[in-house]
Amino acid sequence: MSFLKRLFGGGGGGSSKGPAAEPIAHNGFRIIVDPIPEDGQFRIAATIEGEVDGETKSHRMIRADVIRDRDEAFEASLRKAKQMIDEQGARLFG
């Protein structure tokens, strides 16, 4: 839990967006987890970045799922981003 609190400056679960999370490396890609505050909940979202032919590419992942707790939304967003990377790899950018 302290890891998440550091990422979110206290991890309060309020409606403000808070500071951006540090990128998380996964299989040669970078994941910037960024759940979107929405009506007192958080929509699962993240940006996935990777190098393709020497160029940095990014893919914005936004899911329909919403979760009440910000820490849980962070974990779910990270899990979904990792799943997309594992399933699609560089095809995410094509």
Q: Is this prediction's pTM over 0.85?
A: no
pLDDT value of residue 94: 84
- Average pLDDT over the chain reads 85
pLDDT value of residue 18: 54
pLDDT tens digits, 15-57: 344 556 799 999 999 999 999 999 999 999 999 999 989 999 9
Query: C-alpha distances in angstroms, 9 versus 66, 67, 68, 77, 87?
Result: 21, 19, 18, 18, 32
pLDDT value of residue 20: 64
Angstrom distance (rounded) from CA 67 to CA 81: 16
Per domain, the residue ranges of the chain are: 2-11+20-93
Average pLDDT rounded to a whole number, residues 3-19: 43
Tell me: domain 2-11+20-93, CATH 3.90.1570.10, correct?
no
pLDDT at 2 over 50: no
Q: Can you tell me which residue has the tokens 């990128």?
A: 23
